[in-house]
């Protein structure tokens, strides 16, 4: 805190001021986009929408509403929804907007009121969710968002039982930042990591094989070299045989006449 105060004082002395970070702007409908007036009740029946296409549907409190949209690498999506209530509610209610990828993995929101609570006297509640930037690739164990189809689910999580089934009006819009392509945080490879500094030459003709020198054979080539293990093995065998004959001659008994 003291460091921040000193930094602000230094900037003020230099004629500068600290400006708050700019918040992401709310998405706006695309010009000429057709309004969607229906929703699905599960992942399989989710209504397909596009970024910038407004959604206006009527439903009942307690319904689970599903929509799906396509996301490309390098894009960041913002989902905003407004639920309008009728009069005569008995208590407050909590609403939630969840986003899932194609593998039904719930994606985290980096900004927006994802689970707001509306008082009994409130006539509407606004929900929002800003997703992370879609990456062109990710490790299998990570939950990073990848290109593909994403699902939006709007539902109520807590409400008094007498309010279950009351009619509601839902306005939803999906906005997008980025034109797709490579993700900004992944960078771009401008040059090869290891340049080829030893380029080869192109052969225009088949090279002739080198002549093989003929080996000359002599009469003594079959004999083992002096000092090899074959020589020592042969000498050892001969000495063992001689020792066996001498030992037998010395130890055998003389025959009687």
| pLDDT computed for residue 18 by the predictor | 37
Residue listed under structure tokens 């960078």? 187
List pLDDT tens digits, range 153-188.
Answer: 999 999 999 999 999 999 999 999 876 554 445 555
Cα 149 to Cα 137: distance, rounded to the nearest angstrom: 15
For 185-234, the pLDDT digits (tens) are 555 555 555 666 666 777 777 777 777 777 666 656 656 666 677 778 88
> Please, what are the domains in the chain?
47-177 (2.60.120.380)
pLDDT band of 31, cuts 50, 70, 90? confident
Reported confidence tier of residue 137, pLDDT bands at 50, 70, 90: confident
Give the DSSP letter string of 66-125: EEEEEE-TT-EEEEEEEEEPPS---S-EEEEEEEE-TT-PEEPPSBS-SS-EE-TT-SEE
- More confident: 29 or 217: 29
What's residue 30's pLDDT?
A: 85
Q: What is residue 26's predicted lDDT score, i.e. its pLDDT?
A: 74
How far apart CA 101 and CA 151 sit, in angstroms, is 6
Residue 256: its pLDDT value, please? 63
Nearest to 111 by CA among 124, 128, 96: 128
Confidence of residue 21 (pLDDT cuts 50, 70, 90): very low
Which pTM value belongs to this model? 0.62
d(CA 87, CA 122): 9
| Non-local CB neighbours of 73 within 8 Å, separated by 6+ positions | 134, 135, 136, 146, 147, 180, 181, 182, 183
| Mean of the per-residue pLDDT values of the chain | 81
């Amino acid at each position: 805190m003291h460091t921040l105060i000193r930094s602000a004082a230094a900037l003020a002395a230099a004629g500068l001021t600290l400006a708050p970070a700019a918040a992401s702007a709310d998405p706006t409908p695309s010009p000429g986009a057709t309004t969607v007036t229906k929703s699905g009740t599960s992942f399989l029946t989710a209504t397909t929408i596009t970024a910038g296409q407004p959604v206006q549907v009527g439903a009942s409190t307690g319904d689970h509403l599903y929509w799906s949209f396509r996301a490309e690498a390098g894009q960041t999506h913002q989902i905003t929804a407004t639920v309008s209530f009728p009069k005569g509610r008995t208590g407050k209610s909590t609403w939630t907007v969840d986003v899932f990828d194609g593998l039904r993995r719930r994606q985290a929101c980096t900004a927006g009121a994802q689970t707001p609570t509306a008082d009994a006297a409130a006539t509407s509640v606004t929900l929002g969710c800003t997703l992370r930037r879609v990456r062109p690739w990710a490790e299998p164990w990570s939950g990073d968002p990848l290109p593909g189809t994403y699902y939006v689910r709007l539902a109520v999580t807590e409400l008094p039982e007498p309010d279950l089934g009351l009619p509601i009006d839902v306005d939803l819009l999906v906005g997008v930042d980025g034109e797709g392509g490579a993700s900004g945080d992944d960078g771009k490879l401008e040059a090869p990591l290891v340049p080829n500094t030893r380029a080869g030459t192109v052969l225009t003709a088949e090279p002739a094989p080198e002549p093989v020198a003929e080996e000359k054979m002599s009469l003594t080539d079959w004999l083992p070299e002096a000092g090899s293990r074959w020589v020592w093995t042969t000498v050892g065998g001969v000495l063992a045989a001689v020792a066996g004959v001498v030992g037998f001659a010395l130890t055998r008994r003389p025959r009687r006449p």
